[in-house]
């Protein structure tokens, strides 16, 4: 009995919306755009956050990175007679870390230099990384052809080089890079291996590379070339060298001990580097920070979207109040003819709900398109989660009820006699 009546009352609401098509459409538009912006904003926020997290995750959540930095100026200025005073990490530090700090799986030393690589008449700017054969243990990389650096390369100071695909693309064109010789600052290196570029292709990947190599990659470096540390030392180190090692990557046995080991390293390094010429970076911390940032980002974007939804909701309430007062007489007639307050409430509430729910569905459809466009034209990653869709739909339903209830209540509580007299 009740369901029958409910069905007819809802139908009535739909009919009256249909009779005021333009008004209904305009009213629903507020919700359409509101829901659309919720879905789109969340997708963009989620995408941006996940992108940053991916980049940091590529640094390795189990890793701790220590970088050499120029010590604060005040110290060296006082004592500094020598402009080329040495600073930063040294091989001694590597030994000390290996010997004294527990839970460490690998320590990868790294030297960096940006220079011109030449092959035949072609030359590009590359980032040369002098490192150890176990580099891959800490920075997972995909070997495409040949081999990576070996122990003997290091021991014999072989002029062996591993190039990444980006270098190959720029330097070799159609030639097979393996076993060719490339010239790096006066020395010829034999290419023994080819690896996939670190990180994804495109600008995001380069950002990752820049982050990984301590922001030194420079805008011009197209890719990475890996050479043995010992060779690096002999070939690229000038007499006026100031830094022994640019970077150390330390792999810890589990993510739980990362922060603990960071503290241990800090204590150890502080003893030998009184001038604070190092910097410890913990990707795990960055990752957590990025997650926090993402959450804040989502909250900010979400609240902007929520405000637009609120505005849409207020618009709906406004129209519904106008509709109620416009239809005062109809309400009076219905009440006189036996409609209960609940019937009137259902009639108007169902109108609002129909408006907001169809608005919500349209908004979701539109909100699915926007992130695709953003990804396509704006070159920004976006991630649409089912959660956000459910939330958007839930919000539009909630708005329908919240902003529909008051007008419906007003309609239901009008005095039938007064309403019938209303012109």
Binding footprint of another protein on the chain (CB under 8 A): 1-2, 4-5, 8-9, 12, 15-16, 19, 329-330, 332-343, 416-417, 420
Query: How many CA within 13 A on the CB side of residue 235?
Result: 26
- The nearest distance, CB 320 to another protein, in angstroms, is 16
SS3 422: coil
Q: What angle do CA 113, 117, 118 make, to 5 degrees?
A: 160
Using the minimum distance from each CB to another protein, give the nearer residue, 315 or 332.
332
Using the minimum distance from each CB to another protein, give the nearer residue, 19 or 22.
19
- The nearest distance, CB 16 to another protein, in angstroms, is 6
Q: Report d(CA 66, CA 260) in Å as an integer.
A: 15
- The nearest distance, CB 7 to another protein, in angstroms, is 9
Using the minimum distance from each CB to another protein, give the nearer residue, 19 or 77.
19
- The nearest distance, CB 29 to another protein, in angstroms, is 23
- The nearest distance, CB 420 to another protein, in angstroms, is 7
- The nearest distance, CB 362 to another protein, in angstroms, is 25
Using the minimum distance from each CB to another protein, give the nearer residue, 12 or 397.
12
What string of DSSP letters covers 228-293? EHHHHHHHH--TT--BSBSEEEEEES-GGGHHHHHHHHHHHHHHH-TT--EEEE-HHHHHHHHHHH
Using the minimum distance from each CB to another protein, give the nearer residue, 374 or 420.
420
Beta strands per DSSP E along 72-156? 104-119, 122-131, 143-146
Q: Report d(CA 301, CA 295) in Å as an integer.
A: 10
Using the minimum distance from each CB to another protein, give the nearer residue, 15 or 270.
15
Q: Report d(CA 30, CA 179) in Å as an integer.
A: 65
- The nearest distance, CB 11 to another protein, in angstroms, is 9
Q: Count of CB atoms within 10 A of residue 170's CB?
A: 18
Using the minimum distance from each CB to another protein, give the nearer residue, 8 or 185.
8
Q: Report d(CA 191, CA 412) in Å as an integer.
A: 84
- The nearest distance, CB 405 to another protein, in angstroms, is 18
Q: What is the DSSP letter of 36?
A: H
E strand or H helix that includes residue 183: strand 181-184
Using the minimum distance from each CB to another protein, give the nearer residue, 2 or 377.
2
Q: Are the C-beta atoms of 219 and 124 separated by less than 8 Å?
A: no
Q: What angle do CA 386, 390, 391 make, to 5 degrees?
A: 115
- The nearest distance, CB 15 to another protein, in angstroms, is 8
Q: Report d(CA 79, CA 9) in Å as an integer.
A: 89
The token duo for 72 is 């604060």
Using the minimum distance from each CB to another protein, give the nearer residue, 20 or 288.
20
């Amino acid at each position: 009995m009740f369901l029958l009546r409910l069905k007819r009352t809802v139908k009535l609401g739909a009919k009256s919306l249909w009779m005021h098509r333009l008004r209904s459409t305009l009213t629903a538009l507020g919700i359409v755009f509101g829901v659309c912006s919720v879905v789109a904003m969340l997708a963009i926020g989620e995408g941006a956050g996940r992108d940053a997290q991916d980049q940091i995750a590529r640094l390795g959540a189990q890793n701790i990175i220590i970088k050499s930095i120029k010590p604060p100026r005040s110290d060296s200025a006082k004592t500094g007679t020598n402009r080329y005073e040495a600073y930063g990490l040294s091989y001694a530090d590597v030994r000390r870390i290996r010997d004294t700090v527990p839970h460490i799986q690998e320590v990868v030393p790294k030297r960096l230099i940006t220079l011109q690589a030449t092959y035949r008449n072609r030359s590009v700017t590359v980032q040369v990384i002098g490192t150890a054969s176990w580099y891959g243990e800490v920075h997972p990389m995909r070997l495409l052809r040949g081999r990576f650096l070996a122990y003997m390369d290091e021991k014999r100071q072989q002029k062996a080089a591993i190039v990444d695909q980006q270098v190959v693309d720029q330097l070799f064109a159609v030639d097979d890079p393996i076993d060719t010789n490339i010239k790096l600052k006066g020395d010829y290196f034999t290419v023994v291996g080819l690896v996939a570029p670190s990180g994804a292709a495109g600008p995001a990947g380069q950002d990752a590379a820049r982050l990984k190599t301590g922001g030194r990659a420079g805008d011009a470096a197209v890719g990475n070339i890996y050479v043995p540390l010992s060779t690096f030392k002999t070939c690229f180190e000038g007499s006026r060298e100031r830094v022994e090692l640019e970077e150390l990557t330390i792999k810890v046995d589990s993510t739980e001990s990362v922060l603990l080991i960071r503290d241990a390293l800090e204590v150890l390094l502080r003893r030998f580097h009184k001038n604070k010429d190092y910097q410890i970076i913990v990707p795990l911390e960055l990752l957590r920070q990025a997650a926090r940032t993402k959450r804040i980002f989502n909250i900010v974007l979400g609240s902007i979207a929520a405000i637009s939804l609120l505005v849409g909701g207020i618009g709906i309430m406004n129209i519904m109040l106008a509709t109620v007062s416009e239809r005062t007489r109809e309400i009076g007639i219905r009440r006189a003819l036996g409609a209960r307050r609940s019937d009137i409430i259902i009639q108007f509430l169902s109108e609002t709900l129909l408006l907001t729910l169809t608005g919500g569905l349209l908004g979701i459809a539109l909100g699915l398109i926007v992130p695709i466009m953003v990804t396509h034209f704006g070159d920004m990653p976006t991630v649409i989660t089912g959660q956000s869709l459910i939330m958007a739909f839930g919000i539009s339903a909630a708005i329908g009820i919240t902003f529909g209830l008051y007008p419906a209540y007003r309609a239901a509580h009008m005095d039938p006699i007064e309403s019938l007299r209303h012109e």
